[in-house]
Amino acid sequence: MFNFKANILSEKPMSTKTLKLIAFIVLLVHGIGHLQGVVSSSGVKFRSSTSTVSWLLKGLGEKWNKLICLVLYLAAGVLGIFAALGIIGLLGPGAQWTSMAMACAIFSTLGLILFPKALALFFNKAGAIAVNLIIFYAILFNGFWPSSIFED
Q: How far apart are CA 91 and CA 85, in angstroms?
A: 6
- CA triplet 113, 98, 96: central angle to 5 degrees? 130
- Of 94, 89, 90, 103, nearest in space to 31 by CA: 103
Q: Are 135 and 83 in contact (CB under 8 A)?
A: no
Q: How far apart are CA 14 and CA 95, in angstroms?
A: 20
- pTM, to two decimals: 0.84
Q: Tens of pLDDT along 86-117?
A: 988 888 766 788 899 999 999 999 999 999 99
Q: Tens of pLDDT along 30-75?
A: 999 999 999 999 989 888 888 899 999 999 999 999 999 999 999 9
| Amino acid at the residue 44 | V
Would you say how long the chain is, in residues? 152
